[in-house]
Amino acid sequence: MLEQPRGRPAVVFGGAHQLQGFHAVFPMPDLAQPRGGAMAGYVAVGMVIGLALEAWAFSADLVDGALPATQGWVALIAAHVFVLFFALSWGVVVWVMLGEMFPNRIRAAALGVAAAAQWVANWAITASFPSLADWNLSVTYVIYAVFAALSIPFVLKFVKETKGKALEEMG
């Protein structure tokens, strides 16, 4: 079972995560717009890179119960890379998109169903991670990297431009 980080690594990771979420509280208007999905799609490349590096780092054999130094640092940095790019793409953009993608006549009900589906998906990932990690942590990150990679063409193809449109024009 994976241990929770303690001490300085926990403070560094927690502090970095707070800084990465800063743009959600004080959004930069130009970056907050999905731009036809290009923003979320291209930024998701960083998620893929972070997850792929995690997969590589955790493929190493443990030395005295820990990752070798190089893989340990790569794992730490890759986790930050993933969190940063998630915060810049799916972490915030999905909630903006959900509010814009449905016609007014069904927006409230559709948003409720979409938000519920989002929470169910979040729960499925959270609930399955410990079992997958116990099975093979490196392959778990490969699976996540593949799904992050699949999100890129999906977003670029199906997420429409919203900048400059009234809410009534969307959906």
Q: Which of 17, 151, 49 is nearest to 57 (CA)?
A: 49
Residue 9 placed within a domain: no
Per-residue model confidence (pLDDT) at position 36: 47
- Statement: residue 166 has pLDDT above 60: yes
The answer to whether residue 111 is domain-embedded is yes
Instruction: Work out how many domains the chain is built from and give that number.
Output: 1
Within a domain: 14: no
Burial string for 113-144 (b: 16+ CB within 10 Å, else e) reads ebeeeeeeeeeeeeeeeeeebeeebeebbbeb
Give pLDDT tens digits for 127-147.
Answer: 999 999 999 999 999 999 999
Q: What is the pLDDT of residue 123?
A: 96
Could you list the residue range(s) of the whole structural domain that residue 94 is in? Answer: 35-159
- State the Cα torsion 19-20-22-25 to the nearest 10°: -140
Q: Report residue 26's pLDDT band, with 50, 70 and 90 as the boundaries.
A: low
In this predicted model, what pLDDT tens digit does every residue of 28-58 receive, in sequence order? 445 444 444 556 667 788 899 999 999 999 9
Q: Where is pLDDT greater, at 54 or 7?
A: 54
* Domain-located, residue 151: yes
Does residue 9 or residue 122 have the better pLDDT? 122
Q: Does 171 have pLDDT greater than 80?
A: no
48 neighbors 37 (Cβ within 8 angstroms): no
More reliable by pLDDT, 58 or 4: 58
- The per-residue pLDDT for 31 is 46
Task: Output the domain CATH number for residue 112.
Answer: 1.20.1250.20
Is residue 48 assigned to a domain? yes
Is residue 103 domain-resident?
Answer: yes
Residue 168 is assigned to a structural domain of this protein = no
26: in domain = no
Nearest one of 155, 141, 124 to 51, comparing CA atoms: 141
70-97 pLDDT, tens digit each = 999 999 999 989 988 888 777 777 787 7
